[in-house]
Amino acid sequence: MTVASREQIGEARRIVVKVGSSSISGANAGQIAPLVAALAEAHGRGVEVLLVSSGAIATGMPYLKLDSRPTDLATQQAAAAVGQNVLIYRYQDSLDAFGIVAGQVLLTAGDLENPTHRKNAERAIEKLLELRILPIVNENDTVATHEIRFGDNDRLAALVSVLVKADLLVLLSDVDALYTRPPLEPGAVRIDHVPFGDDLAGVVIGSVGTGIGTGGATTKVAAARLAADAGAAVLLASTAQVAQALTGATVGTWFDPAPSADAVPAVR
């Protein structure tokens, strides 16, 4: 179905939620439990929920005794290999309280551009959802090259939302919305609603991430447009607002989806 407004979020059949590294690692690792609680509430009312989670490298860093994000690819891959294991354990530990089992799905953006890989991923995710398993998707950082250095999981989340024909994509970070300019700058105003096709003229979109993750407003807006073009509504909000976001509260920035007749597949 088309979720045309926040008020219709409760009617969504399938929702993809993406969370950034800085929101669930380091000092913010405690946000995993409330995030899982919000996902479990939606799952409990019959929604098919998928989580796209960054954070493998950031989670693995302390175990490799690293004080800052590594810059060389091999160490990034090593941190991701350790961190992904810990990250999934933390999610499952919180999900156990709700009787929900997680299913780990590791992809690269390239997998979703390869027809055979994309079909295999779609089939696996659909079966997990049919079995009421909660898929947790992350980029396969141990084999990624370009993506691990220059991207974030915003685009991957948008591609996943297209793949599974999600009704809604929720992009969570440590910023509560899209603003007319970087939110720490004087005069920044929160944008509540972005109509479909709005080019955001006059809006200054920053591209700098936190230093823990690699994304920023630029990647989120690009991902929102990709998903909206394919017919999914998109909500940008903070991780702390996830429970409100999934119940239709007026939080974050809402991107209208393409009208049903005009929705076009973003991945071929």
* pLDDT of 139 over the 60 cut: yes
* pLDDT of 210 over the 50 cut: no
- Domain assignment present for residue 108? The answer is yes
Looking at residue 64, which CATH number applies to its domain?
3.40.1160.10
* pLDDT of 229 over the 60 cut: yes
Counting every residue written for the chain, the total comes to 268
The string of pLDDT tens digits covering residues 164-205 is 999 999 999 999 999 998 888 898 999 999 999 888 877 887
- Domain assignment present for residue 56? The answer is yes
- Domain assignment present for residue 125? The answer is yes
Residue 265 has what pLDDT?
52
Q: Is 173 annotated as a binding residue?
A: yes
- Is 26 within 8 Å of 66 (Cβ atoms)? no
Distance CA 157, CA 29 (A): 21
Residue 146 has what pLDDT?
54
Residue 110 has what pLDDT?
76
Q: Is 199 annotated as a binding residue?
A: no
Q: Calculate mean pLDDT across residues 70-90.
A: 93
**Residue 166, exposed/middle/buried by CB under 10 A (0-12, 13-18, 19+)?**
buried
Distance CA 102, CA 146 (A): 28
- Is 267 within 8 Å of 162 (Cβ atoms)? yes
Q: Is 141 annotated as a binding residue?
A: yes
Q: How confident is the model at residue 81 (pLDDT cuts 50, 70, 90)?
A: very high
Give the residue with greater pLDDT, 12 vs 199: 12
Q: Is 54 annotated as a binding residue?
A: yes
- Domain assignment present for residue 267? The answer is no
> What is the average pLDDT value for the chain, to the nearest integer?
88
Answering whether pTM is above 0.85, one says yes
- Domain assignment present for residue 251? The answer is yes
Q: Is 238 annotated as a binding residue?
A: no
Residue 152 has what pLDDT?
67
Specify the range with the lowest mean pLDDT, choosing from 7-16, 82-91, 138-147, 245-254: 138-147
- Domain assignment present for residue 142? The answer is yes
Query: What is the Cα 6 distance to its own chain's centre?
Result: 18
Residue 104 has what pLDDT?
96
Residue 82 has what pLDDT?
96
- Count of structural domains, the chain: 1
Q: Calculate mean pLDDT across residues 111-121.
A: 90
Helices and strands per DSSP (H, E), number in the chain: 9, 10
- Domain assignment present for residue 1? The answer is no
- Domain assignment present for residue 268? The answer is no
Q: Calculate mean pLDDT across residues 129-133.
A: 98
Q: Virtual CA dihedral for 85, 124, 147, 88, nearest 10 degrees? A: -20
Domain that holds residue 141: 6-262
Q: Is 65 annotated as a binding residue?
A: no
